[in-house]
């Protein structure tokens, strides 16, 4: 397993370089103009000057090499500087966003807290709800609990957040006035009261997001449990006189976790990717919001950097999933 | 034990399927109550969206003009009179009209045609790609690396720029080949399909990896079963349930994604209704006209639910262990 | 309530005891813009969101009030020919600055700052978004500490481009000294936290998210602003912004609520806020393509002057398309209080507004039908669409994605179908449609369609440069990389000559007369079909006083006068 992990990690480098090139070319090919949001009253000659100031006149390969250098050499130096107080990055150009003319990584770091607060918490909540629901639904297949669970999860998945989010706002913010409809990203938690305020502003977006994720996860959990509950080893285990609890929660669950681990591992990069629509509805302004505004404004350095960070996370967590498969089922071999 | 499974599993191998086995499956499916109800609801929805527009008297595209416009717009559904006698209703428009005076029922029916067609085709496409990639990667060691790196690549691609590029490159040739609406249909289905198969592929691969080392597979291999036969007979039937779940979730995703596409201007022309778009357009007026969100929302949910139950029934019916009970 | 006391507490810490009695007395105010500001340096980004958020901090020498009249701001008075501020030959203007102004860091505001601002924007490598404000400027000099003289290359009848209006504020020379030209983007700290002379200063700027501000302790009026702290939130959508002001009361001011009138009316019932509307020069219009966009033509020849349009080159067809439209209904559906039907492309100010075209205000479908019949466009093959010599009157009608625009498309398609014109509708994402990527076929400038709808306006009150959009030379075409403002590809030597006359006339009523004539030429030849004179609709909390909605300048122009109604 260790050699496999090391081999995969080494292999990840060319993979990621290739992915970054594909993303770069894709963005290059996509129609769009960083000046699209500038009002029509600004004349075209001025817009052309502004484009030149962004460095858009340079050929593609030079811009790509520049980005590689900035992202892989300058940004780590900046990180080192801020950690150890050194001055490696002095005078080097960082990855600069076209919209804000400021370093992309600074904005990303600014956005991480609210993304983790909302999307991360929603994910944890969803996993904590989905697993027991899925297990119990499978164990008592076609019971009232299972039927109700199926109904709620399916409707929950079929209703898009642009509707459920607004519905939640209309009910809980407008009619009842319990929770704020707009997330305050500058809110600082430093005591119990401010924590309650934070909790209040998180509830609606977390609820809307968690509903979606729970629906998906619990369906996979249930299906996989059902498959395994019918297996021979379950009968054997029961025949050996193991308690029902041990049979279901140890033997069956362990063998049923592979698809669920896959889905969760695919979801972790998505946490960092944020939730575009939910963030938009509640004005959370996390990384999802950052990405969508960057795409709309055709802010290529920002889009490129963000998607590349996602790519790293995707490659990493798929590797983690593969390792967990091996732990869950020691018979799985990769070499 | 292994031999029994071997036989059972062999019973549903596609290569040897005879009429009696499919009859078996159908018999099993029929006694699954959920599946049957799901099937009926789905048939009803299909009948509604296919035959409905032929029978129903209102044209989904018709916009009243002149003095009629004010009279016919923002009409409420007839059932509103039950609690609000003063409501503006008419039996000519059973579910009312929208802010431009277009009949809501007519738009729901014709919107359903597109949404269901897009949902089913895109789901099938992503399912096929996902399953093929997943099975091949899981089963053949050599393919695992390249195929999974491809999956990583697709997972990493930003969706919106990808759509922009696809529209730029393919809209004109496709509409030349299939007509303007046909071209957009092909484009949307393909786009939704090729951007949503990765999860299925990862899940199927994970299951296949584990399955490959199970006794019955090893046994089958030791008696010299060829890989294609092995996949069809032993591997595929045993990864059916996650595929079914992906399928049901996939329909909902496809219907919603389609609406997101048309909202961004990559989808069907703006006067072309689909369920997702009806829902999206109605959100702003949710408090005044709840029916405009409830009906398309209900239609999408019902479709997804019914497909889910059909999938459940199908999976049970195809499962040899349950069938033998 | 908690926010309020919190705000008061910080205010009392930050302020001198003298000012404490007045400035900051009303605590905290919340503003929401559904587009989030990316920078506080309006010279680096032309976006309205950036200009208006920056207008809380940095200010121009003069600005427009809500009636479109110029008023002095950081200048002592408006220079004119009669007071000697503008030279007789119209080639220079001399601004006298107020001498009681200080920057938020306490240093005095002088003519050096004004001169520096000009150098900053006119630097050839800077990519300044407001360069057009400085067009024709040959020299800016500080003649003494509080006098600035701007010299133009030639006679400039309207010399109020530089340093007038929210687009052209003054930045501090000391702060931005190292940010000239190519260095501009490296000055993150300066761009995110400019020192200003305005009522507020930045505490924290989070790009594309939220700005936290506090009252400027060095503001010229010790009694203002009434608010000690201010939160400027960005992002989301117009519906949510409107809801936060009018239904939940979480915010005090929401900008530019582009929502259908029935949605606004429903929100207003929430009771915590009220919508306000103001009218500038924005006109929603349909542009007519006078050239052939046929996809069968080579890319370099589509929509260029080399091929006239097969049927839109017939003025009768263009007239009929305009006559079939019920503008009153469009206003009612799409804009309500924030819209008026119009038949002019220059809808305001009043002196520039023509009444010669008002016939179009009444929908006339029979008239349109008769006109087409006379012109020989009849439905000869019975498919419901008029044709002549094998050319069918079927159009591709495109616009950007926006709920109101899609409703308009549907209604207009229906009216056109009643005069035998078939329309295929297309909507394109705004970031592509308004982008100028010459590689994309879907930009509004390339105009690979027969008709397209969008809104445009001019900044300030003078329409000269706006009317220059329809000069023959300004047509987008391959050799201009498809740039240019003449979207219909209109080409009329008489128009060009008349416009030249406008650029040489200084007398206001004479300028107005020529501008009206130019407007009438465009309208009577129907090179575009104006639909709605659009206002700006914003909303403020019922207990927020002093709001005077201004569409000629920043909406937040008089934020120093805002206060809490108790």
Strand partners, C97: C75
Facing residue for A262 by CB, picked from B165, B206, B213: B206
Q: Alpha carbon B186 to chain centroid distance?
A: 15
DSSP-derived letter for residue C410 is H
Say if CB C197 and CB C109 are below 8 A apart: yes
Assign C485 a pLDDT band (cuts: 50, 70, 90): confident
Q: Is B50 on the interface with A (CB under 8 A)?
A: no
No. of helices (H) and no. of strands (E), chain A = 15, 0
Say if CB C435 and CB C443 are below 8 A apart: yes
Min Cα–Cα distance to chain C from B57, Å:
19
Q: Is B321 on the interface with A (CB under 8 A)?
A: yes
Contact assignment for B245 to A219 by CB distance below 8 Å: yes
Provide the residue ranges of all domains of chain A, joining segments of one domain with +.
107-296
- For testing contact with chain A, the best of C35, C236, C247, C461 (most A CBs within 10 A): C236
No. of helices (H) and no. of strands (E), chain C = 16, 20
Strand partners, C400: C428
pLDDT in tens, A91-101: 777 888 888 88
Contact assignment for A43 to C485 by CB distance below 8 Å: yes
In Å, how far are A135, B69, B303, C238 from B289, measured between CA atoms? 40, 18, 23, 19
Contact assignment for B206 to A259 by CB distance below 8 Å: yes
- Predicted confidence at residue B227, as pLDDT, reads 86
- Predicted confidence at residue C198, as pLDDT, reads 92
In the block, residue with structure tokens 């900051």: C24
**How many CA atoms lie within 13 Å of B239's alpha carbon, on the beta-carbon side?**
32
Contact assignment for C427 to B281 by CB distance below 8 Å: no
Assign B263 a pLDDT band (cuts: 50, 70, 90): low
pLDDT in tens, C61-119: 999 988 888 899 999 999 988 888 899 888 999 999 998 899 999 999 999 999 999 99
- Predicted confidence at residue C18, as pLDDT, reads 40
Contact assignment for A163 to B293 by CB distance below 8 Å: yes
Q: Alpha carbon B39 to chain centroid distance?
A: 14
DSSP-derived letter for residue C18 is H
Q: What percent of chain B has pLDDT over 90?
A: 12
Assign A141 a pLDDT band (cuts: 50, 70, 90): confident
Q: Give the other-Cβ count within 10 Å of A45's Cβ.
A: 12
Facing residue for A36 by CB, picked from C208, C234, C435: C435
- Predicted confidence at residue C19, as pLDDT, reads 39
Contacts of B164 in chain A (CB under 8 A): 30-32
Q: How many residues does chain C have?
A: 566
pLDDT in tens, C310-343: 999 999 999 999 999 999 989 988 888 889 999 9
Q: CA-to-CA distance for B265 and B267, rounded, in angstroms?
A: 6
Q: Give the other-Cβ count within 10 Å of A112's Cβ.
A: 14
Contact assignment for C263 to B285 by CB distance below 8 Å: yes
Of the candidates B236, B15, B270, B248, the residue with the CA atom closest to the CA atom of residue B138: B236
**Token representation of residue C14:** 């930050």
Chains that touch C (3 or more CB pairs under 8 A): A, B
Q: Is C233 on the interface with A (CB under 8 A)?
A: yes
Q: Give the other-Cβ count within 10 Å of A103's Cβ.
A: 23
Phi, psi of A98, rounded to the nearest 5 degrees: -75, -30
Element (H, E) at C112: helix C111-122
Min Cα–Cα distance to chain A from B146, Å:
10
**Token representation of residue B73:** 């717009």
**How many CA atoms lie within 13 Å of C292's alpha carbon, on the beta-carbon side?**
15
What value does the mean pLDDT take over residues B105-116? Answer: 89
- Predicted confidence at residue B5, as pLDDT, reads 40
Contacts of C433 in chain A (CB under 8 A): 36
Q: Is B244 on the interface with A (CB under 8 A)?
A: yes
List the alpha helices (DSSP H) in C375-467: 403-418, 430-433, 464-467
Residues 6 or more apart in contact with residue C184 via CB below 8 angstroms: A53, A101, C43, C44, C120, C123, C126, C127, C191
Closest-approach residue (CA) in chain A for B296: A159
Of the candidates C189, B161, C240, the residue with the CA atom closest to the CA atom of residue A285: C240
Facing residue for C129 by CB, picked from A38, A107, A184: A38
Q: Are strands C391-392 and C92-96 parallel, antiparallel or unpaired?
A: unpaired
In three-state secondary structure terms, C425 is strand
Contact assignment for C401 to B180 by CB distance below 8 Å: no
Assign B15 a pLDDT band (cuts: 50, 70, 90): very low
Q: Give the other-Cβ count within 10 Å of C476's Cβ.
A: 23
Q: Give the other-Cβ count within 10 Å of B57's Cβ.
A: 9
Which residues of chain B approach chain C closer than 8 Å at the C-beta?
62-63, 65, 69, 74, 99-100, 102, 164, 168, 172, 180, 263-266, 269-271, 281, 283-285, 287-288
Min Cα–Cα distance to chain B from A317, Å:
10
pLDDT in tens, C411-459: 999 999 999 999 989 888 887 888 777 778 888 888 999 999 999 888 7
- For testing contact with chain B, the best of A12, A33, A156, A158 (most B CBs within 10 A): A158
DSSP string, B35-96: HHHHHHHHHHHHHHHHHHHHH--S-TT----THHHHHHTTPPPGGGGGT-TTS---TTSTT-
In three-state secondary structure terms, C444 is coil
Min Cα–Cα distance to chain A from C545, Å:
23
Chain B residues 78-117 with a CB less than 8 Å from chain A: none
Q: Can you give the C-alpha Rg of chain C in angstroms?
A: 25
Q: Is the dihedral of CA C386, C391, C392, C396 positive or negative?
A: negative
Measured CA angle at C412 (ends C520, C524), to 5 deg: 15
**Range from B127-136, B158-167, B194-203 carrying the lowest mean pLDDT:** B158-167
CB pairs under 8 A between A and C: 190
Measured CA angle at C421 (ends C419, C422), to 5 deg: 135
pLDDT in tens, C369-389: 999 999 999 988 888 899 998
- For testing contact with chain A, the best of C39, C40, C53, C235 (most A CBs within 10 A): C235
Q: Residue B16 pLDDT more than 90?
A: no
Q: CA-to-CA distance for C335 and C262, rounded, in angstroms?
A: 9
Min Cα–Cα distance to chain B from C547, Å:
27
Q: Is B259 on the interface with A (CB under 8 A)?
A: yes
Contacts of A163 in chain B (CB under 8 A): 279-280, 283, 286, 293, 297
CATH architecture of the domain covering A107-296: Orthogonal Bundle (1.10)
Element (H, E) at A325: helix A300-328
Strand partners, C536: C278
ipTM of the complex as predicted: 0.84
Task: Indicate the pTM of the whole model.
Answer: 0.84
Contacts of C188 in chain A (CB under 8 A): 101-103, 106
Strand partners, C397: C425, C451
Facing residue for C132 by CB, picked from A46, A169, A186: A46
In Å, how far are B31, B172, C400, C447, C460 from C441, measured between CA atoms? 56, 10, 14, 8, 32
Facing residue for A262 by CB, picked from B202, B213, B280: B202
Contact assignment for B242 to A295 by CB distance below 8 Å: no
Report the mean per-residue pLDDT for chain B.
82
- Predicted confidence at residue C102, as pLDDT, reads 92
**Range from A40-44, A149-153, C160-164 carrying the lowest mean pLDDT:** A40-44
Report the mean per-residue pLDDT for chain C.
87
Of the candidates C221, C211, C216, C209, the residue with the CA atom closest to the CA atom of residue C195: C216
- Predicted confidence at residue A81, as pLDDT, reads 82
Q: Residue B240 pLDDT more than 90?
A: no
Q: Is C264 on the interface with B (CB under 8 A)?
A: no
Chain B residues 167-196 with a CB less than 8 Å from chain A: 168
No. of helices (H) and no. of strands (E), chain B = 15, 0
Q: Residue B325 pLDDT more than 50?
A: no
Assign C30 a pLDDT band (cuts: 50, 70, 90): very high
Burial class (CB in 10 A: 0-12, 13-18, 19+), A188: exposed
Q: Give the other-Cβ count within 10 Å of A305's Cβ.
A: 25
The larger pLDDT score, comparing residue B263 to residue C216, is at C216
Q: Residue B242 pLDDT more than 90?
A: no
The larger pLDDT score, comparing residue C539 to residue C235, is at C539
Report the mean per-residue pLDDT for chain A.
85
In three-state secondary structure terms, C141 is strand
Chains that touch A (3 or more CB pairs under 8 A): B, C
In the block, residue with structure tokens 């811009």: A63
Assign C254 a pLDDT band (cuts: 50, 70, 90): very high
- For testing contact with chain A, the best of B133, B167, B241, B315 (most A CBs within 10 A): B241
Q: Residue B291 pLDDT more than 60?
A: yes
Contacts of C436 in chain A (CB under 8 A): 33, 35-36, 44, 47
Q: CA-to-CA distance for C282 and C459, rounded, in angstroms?
A: 10
Contacts of A18 in chain B (CB under 8 A): 153
Contact assignment for B100 to C407 by CB distance below 8 Å: yes
Question: Cis ω on the peptide bond leading into residue A312 (within 30° of 0)?
Answer: no
Contact assignment for A230 to B322 by CB distance below 8 Å: yes
Contacts of C427 in chain B (CB under 8 A): 265, 269-270
**How many CA atoms lie within 13 Å of C77's alpha carbon, on the beta-carbon side?**
8
Q: Is C297 on the interface with B (CB under 8 A)?
A: no
Burial class (CB in 10 A: 0-12, 13-18, 19+), B86: exposed
pLDDT in tens, A261-305: 888 888 888 777 667 778 888 888 888 888 888 888 888 888 889
Q: Is the dihedral of CA A331, A335, B2, B4 positive or negative?
A: positive
Closest-approach residue (CA) in chain A for C133: A42
Assign C13 a pLDDT band (cuts: 50, 70, 90): very low
Q: CA-to-CA distance for B271 and B275, rounded, in angstroms?
A: 13
């Amino acid at each position: 397993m260790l050699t496999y992990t090391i081999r995969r990690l080494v292999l990840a480098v060319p993979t990621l370089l290739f992915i970054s090139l594909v993303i770069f070319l894709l963005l290059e090919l996509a129609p769009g103009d960083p000046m699209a949001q500038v009002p029509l009253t600004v004349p075209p000659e001025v817009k052309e000057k502004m484009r030149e100031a962004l460095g858009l006149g340079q050929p593609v390969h030079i811009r790509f090499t520049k980005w590689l250098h900035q992202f892989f050499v300058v940004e780590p130096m900046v990180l080192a500087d801020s950690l150890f107080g050194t001055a490696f990055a002095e005078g080097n150009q960082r990855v600069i966003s076209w919209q804000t003319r400021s370093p992309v990584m600074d904005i990303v770091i600014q956005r991480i807290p609210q993304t983790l607060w909302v999307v991360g918490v929603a994910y944890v909540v969803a996993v904590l709800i989905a697993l027991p629901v899925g297990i119990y639904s499978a164990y008592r297949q076609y019971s009232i609990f299972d039927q109700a669970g199926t109904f709620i999860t399916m409707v929950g998945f079929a209703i898009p957040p642009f509707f459920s989010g607004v519905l939640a706002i209309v009910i809980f913010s407008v009619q009842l006035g319990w929770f704020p409809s707009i997330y305050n990203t500058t809110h600082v938690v430093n005591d119990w009261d401010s924590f309650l305020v934070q909790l209040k502003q998180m509830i609606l977006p977390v609820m809307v997001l968690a509903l979606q994720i729970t629906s998906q996860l619990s369906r996979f959990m249930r299906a996989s449990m059902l498959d395994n509950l019918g297996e021979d080893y379950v009968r054997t285990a029961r025949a050996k006189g193991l308690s029902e609890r041990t049979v279901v929660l140890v033997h069956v669950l362990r063998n049923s976790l592979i698809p669920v681990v896959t889905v969760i591992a695919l979801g972790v990069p998505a946490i960092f990717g944020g939730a575009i629509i939910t963030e938009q509805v509640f004005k959370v302004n996390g990384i999802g919001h950052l990405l969508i505004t960057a795409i709309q404004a055709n802010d290529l350095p920002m889009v490129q950097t963000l998607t590349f960070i996602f790519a790293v996370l995707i490659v990493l967590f798929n590797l983690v999933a593969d390792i967990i498969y091996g732990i869950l089922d020691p018979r799985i071999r990769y070499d | 034990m292994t031999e029994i499974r071997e036989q059972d599993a062999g019973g549903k191998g596609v290569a040897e399927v005879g009429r009696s086995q499919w009859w078996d499956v159908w018999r099993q499916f029929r006694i699954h109550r959920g599946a049957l109800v799901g099937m009926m609801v789905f048939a009803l929805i299909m009948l509604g969206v296919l035959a409905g527009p032929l029978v129903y008297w209102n044209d989904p595209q018709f916009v009243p003009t002149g003095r009629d416009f004010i009279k016919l717009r923002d009409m409420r559904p007839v059932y509103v009179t039950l609690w609000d006698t003063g409501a503006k209703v008419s039996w000519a428009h059973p579910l009312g009209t929208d802010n431009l005076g277009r009949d809501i029922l007519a738009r729901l029916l014709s919107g359903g045609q597109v949404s269901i067609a897009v949902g089913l085709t895109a789901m099938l496409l992503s399912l096929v790609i996902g399953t093929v990639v997943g099975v091949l990667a899981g089963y053949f060691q050599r393919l695992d690396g390249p195929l999974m790196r491809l999956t990583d690549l697709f997972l990493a691609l930003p969706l919106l720029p990808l759509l922009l590029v696809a529209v730029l490159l393919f809209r004109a040739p496709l509409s030349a080949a299939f007509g303007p609406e046909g071209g957009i249909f092909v484009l949307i289905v393909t786009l939704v399909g090729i951007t949503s198969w990765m999860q299925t592929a990862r899940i199927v691969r994970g299951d296949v990896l584990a399955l490959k080392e199970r006794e019955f597979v090893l046994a089958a291999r030791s008696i010299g079963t060829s890989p294609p036969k092995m996949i069809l007979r032993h591997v595929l039937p045993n990864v059916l349930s996650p595929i079914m779940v992906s399928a049901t979730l996939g329909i909902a995703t496809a219907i919603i994604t389609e609406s997101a596409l048309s909202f961004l201007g990559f989808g069907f022309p703006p006067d072309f209704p689909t369920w997702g778009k009806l829902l999206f357009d109605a959100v702003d007026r949710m408090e005044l006209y709840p029916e405009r969100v409830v009906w398309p929302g209900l239609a999408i949910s019902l479709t997804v639910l019914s497909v889910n139950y059909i999938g459940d029934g199908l999976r049970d019916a195809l499962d040899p262990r349950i069938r033998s009970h | 309530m908690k926010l309020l006391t919190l705000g008061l507490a910080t205010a009392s810490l930050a302020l001198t005891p003298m000012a404490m009695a007045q400035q900051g007395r009303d605590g905290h105010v919340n503003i929401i813009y559904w587009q989030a500001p990316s920078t506080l340096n309006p010279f680096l980004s032309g976006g309205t969101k950036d200009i208006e958020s920056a207008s809380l901090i940095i200010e121009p020498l003069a600005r427009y009030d809500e009636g479109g009249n110029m008023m002095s701001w950081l200048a002592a008075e408006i220079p004119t020919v009669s007071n000697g501020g503008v030279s007789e030959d119209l080639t220079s203007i001399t601004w006298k600055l107020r001498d009681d102004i200080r920057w938020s860091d306490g240093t005095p505001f002088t003519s050096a700052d004004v001169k520096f601002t000009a150098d900053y924007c006119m630097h050839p490598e800077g990519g300044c978004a407001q360069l057009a404000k400085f067009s024709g400027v040959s020299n800016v000099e500080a003649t003494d500490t509080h006098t600035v003289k701007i010299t133009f290359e030639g006679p400039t009848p309207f010399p109020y481009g530089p340093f007038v209006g929210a687009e052209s504020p003054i930045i501090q020379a000391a702060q931005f000294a190292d940010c000239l030209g190519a260095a501009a983007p490296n000055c993150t700290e300066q761009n995110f936290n400019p020192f200003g002379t305005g009522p507020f200063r930045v505490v924290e700027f989070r790009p594309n998210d939220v700005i936290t501000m506090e009252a400027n302790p060095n503001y010229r009026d010790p009694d203002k602003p009434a608010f000690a702290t201010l939160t400027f939130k960005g992002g989301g959508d117009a519906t949510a912004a409107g809801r936060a002001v009018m239904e939940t009361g979480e915010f005090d001011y929401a900008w530019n609520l582009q929502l259908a009138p029935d949605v606004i009316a429903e929100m207003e019932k929430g009771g915590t806020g009220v919508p306000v509307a103001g009218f500038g020069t924005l006109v929603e219009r349909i542009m007519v393509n006078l050239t052939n966009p046929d996809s069968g033509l080579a890319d370099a020849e589509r929509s260029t002057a080399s091929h006239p349009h097969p049927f839109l080159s017939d003025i009768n067809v263009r007239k009929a398309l305009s006559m079939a439209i019920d503008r009153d209904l469009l206003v009612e559906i799409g804009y309500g209080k924030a819209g008026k039907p119009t038949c002019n492309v220059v809808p305001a100010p009043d002196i520039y507004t023509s009444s010669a075209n008002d016939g179009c205000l009444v929908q006339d479908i029979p008239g349109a039908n008769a006109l087409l019949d006379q012109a020989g466009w009849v439905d000869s093959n019975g498919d419901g669409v008029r044709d002549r010599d094998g050319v069918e009157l079927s159009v591709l009608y495109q616009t950007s994605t926006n709920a109101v625009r899609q409703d308009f498309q549907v209604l207009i398609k229906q009216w056109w179908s009643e005069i035998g014109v078939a329309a295929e509708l297309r909507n394109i994402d705004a970031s592509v449609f308004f982008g100028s990527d010459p590689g994309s076929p879907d930009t509004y400038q390339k105009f690979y369609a027969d008709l397209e709808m969008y809104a445009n306006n001019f900044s300030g009150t003078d329409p000269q440069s706006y009317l220059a959009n329809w000069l023959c030379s300004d047509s987008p075409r391959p050799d201009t990389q498809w740039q240019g403002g003449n979207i219909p590809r209109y080409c009329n030597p008489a128009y060009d000559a008349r416009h030249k006359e406008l650029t040489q006339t200084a007398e206001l009523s004479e300028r107005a007369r020529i501008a009206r004539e130019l407007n009438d030429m465009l309208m009577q030849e129907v090179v575009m079909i104006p639909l709605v004179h659009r206002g700006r609709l914003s909303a403020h909390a019922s207990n927020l006083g002093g709001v005077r909605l201004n569409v000629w300048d920043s909406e937040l122009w008089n934020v120093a006068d805002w206060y809490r109604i108790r």
